[in-house]
Copies of this chain bind each other. A is one copy, B any other.
Amino acid sequence: MKGVTTNQSGELIYTDVEDVRLSDQEVLIDVYASAVNRLDLIQRKNHSSYVENPVLGVEVAGVIKDPNGHPHLNKGARVMGLVNGGGYAERVAMPADRVMKIPENLSFEQAAAIPEVFLTAYQTLYWIGELQQKEKVLVHAGGSGVGTAAIQLARQLSDAEIFVTAGTQEKLSVCKDLGADHLINYKTENFANEVHRITNKTGVNVILDFVGASYWEKNYDSMAIDGRWVLIGVLGGMTVENINLMKLMQKRIQLTGTLLTQRSDVYKSQLSKAFIERTFDLFKSGMLKPVVDTVFPIEEADASHQYMEANKNTGKIILKVK
């Protein structure tokens, strides 16, 4: 079969790769679409790979080619989900207990835009951030894949008051369409000042932070008492100079770092189940929408990575396999 790996100069090439070998816990998926994640970029750069699979890619949408004896799964069913590497390929193994059915109104390209970002957003907002009905949430990088998913979930599941930051008016406008209430252009405005002004200095209850170091003080200032701050990326640097711990105690902040990909199979399975039960009908009715920025043919995987590195996308970058 064909799949995408890294050549010696670090470029992505679509070439012949070893065929999938299934374990008992897995089913075989005929991949129609995969999607690009920041983790893939890091792995390409490091010439590393995820769980020793030389083929990149941690999520796909496709059709079950071999249910491998799992009675609740049927050959030919349209499914999506996280895989342990190998997603940028014609076929991939997916653990049977994290297979999610695709709502019939969605194409494979749309479905491939769901797993990683929606599961990450769901996990961070609800399992970690414990977002409650009508609370205030600040979503950084509102135009990113996880950002666009988080805005929709906070709107549809919690009727939250949603603050977003992004670097262009185009991205902010997409955020607004998805349900964000307060749009902050971080290039022209100080988001902490805006949060103070809008909340009358009481701050936000949950922060979804992909930025890290460069936003540290402003996030600190933006947090409400008993706020939950979830760190899932360090796009703005990983080293913070000078942290005042008194603020952490006085505001009783809960700061949690998390990365979805390294979680256990059991965790991913439980998360996939909880997520799809809660959201399937909302996708079906169009209340939740996968946000696809661009679809690249799988042969152009290298160009898709350059596109993400240039930070040009609003929503997901998809690889069309067939």
For window 263-282 of A, CB contacts with B under 8 Å fall at: none
| Most chain B Cβ neighbours within 10 Å, of A213, A244, A245 | A245
* Interface pair B254/A213, CB less than 8 Å apart: no
CA distance A284 to B128 in the complex (A): 38
Residue of B nearest to A262 (CB): B250
* Interface pair A240/B242, CB less than 8 Å apart: yes
In the complex, what residues of B have CB within 8 A of residue A247's CB?
257
CA distance A231 to B246 in the complex (A): 9
Question: Could you mark each residue 224-257 of chain A with 1 if its beta carbon is under 8 Å from any beta carbon of chain B, else 0?
Answer: 0000000111100011111111111111111111
CA distance A245 to B90 in the complex (A): 37
Residue of B nearest to A252 (CB): B258
A240 nearest CB across to chain B (Å): 5
CA distance A213 to B242 in the complex (A): 10
Does residue A259 face the partner (Cβ distance < 8 Å to B)? yes
Contact of A245 among B244, B248, B257 (CB under 8 A): B257
* Interface pair A238/B231, CB less than 8 Å apart: no
* Interface pair A250/B259, CB less than 8 Å apart: yes
* Interface pair A257/B249, CB less than 8 Å apart: yes
Residue of B nearest to A233 (CB): B249
Residue of B nearest to A237 (CB): B245
Question: Could you mark each residue 204-225 of chain A with 1 if its beta carbon is under 8 Å from any beta carbon of chain B, else 0?
Answer: 0000000011000000000000
* Interface pair B244/A253, CB less than 8 Å apart: no
Known: A249-B259, A255-B255. 16 other contacts (CB 8 A): A212-B245, A231-B249, A240-B242, A241-B241, A243-B243, A248-B257, A249-B257, A250-B259, A251-B257, A252-B256, A252-B257, A252-B258, A253-B256, A253-B257, A254-B254, A254-B256
